[in-house]
Amino acid sequence: MDSARTPASQAEAANSIRLPPPRLDSEFALERALRERRSVRAFGRAALTQTEVGQLLWAGQGVTAPDGLRTAPSAGALFPLELYVVVGSVENLDPGIYRYGPQPHRLARIAAGDVRADLARAALGQDFVARAAAVLVFAAVEERTTRKYGKRGVRYVHIEVGHAAQNVFLQATALGLDAVVVGAFNDRMVQRALNLPEGEAPLYLMPVGRH
């Protein structure tokens, strides 16, 4: 209910952007995506489209069933992952930090401004992060899983982010986009760059762009 929203959630609602509906079928075979998937760290200047960004986000955490099940499996269907996109060069999206809302399929801008360079510094100076058109950031609220599974739940969260990231990687390949996953970064610097809520930890960065 609106009356129960925090000021932060009210601000997100005011900056909500409905994404184009995700494509649910194509002629690009899964086997081809598996064969052609490669880690690419060299990005050109061409922008991504809003449709492409939405498709990547849907691949990572999109809802695929009326009961809320998603594209990636989650222990106990607890869905600890939070997916962000740091926009630098995306058509019809201003540079900024956006949180993905799986249901409905939308973005909420949580901060304006291009922070790709901040993420590159946080990623131990891996400059290609700043040259990607956008950077997907996988974060997690581990407590959503550990309150049911205890310490073992941390492992489940880490397994889950691998499922989701591979989904995005294969989707990027099918779209003709370049991507790479980055796990080497300073957690606190990423948290500060994105102003992540307390209890939410970054797990993976995925720069995405095109030649």
Amino acid 63: pLDDT:
97
Residue 9 has pLDDT above 60, yes or no: no
Question: What CA dihedral angle connects 195, 22, 205 and 91, to 10 degrees?
Answer: -70
Whether the bond between 102 and the residue before it is cis, its omega within 30 degrees of 0, is no
pLDDT, one tens digit per residue, over 54-95 is 999 999 999 999 999 999 999 999 999 999 999 999 999 999
Question: What is the pLDDT confidence band of residue 15, given thresholds at 50, 70 and 90?
Answer: confident
pLDDT, one tens digit per residue, over 49-64 is 999 999 999 999 999 9
Compute the average pLDDT of residues 13-33. 92
149: three-class secondary structure by DSSP: helix
Domains delineated in the chain: 45-209 (3.40.109.10)
* 3-class SS shares of the chain: helix, strand, coil, % to 5: 40, 25, 40
Please tell me the distance from the alpha carbon of residue 60 to that of residue 127, in angstroms, as a whole number.
Answer: 24
pTM value?
0.93
Amino acid 170: pLDDT:
98
More confident of the two residues 71 and 7: 71
**Mean pLDDT computed over every residue of the chain:** 94
Of all helices (H) and strands (E), which one includes residue 193? helix 187-194
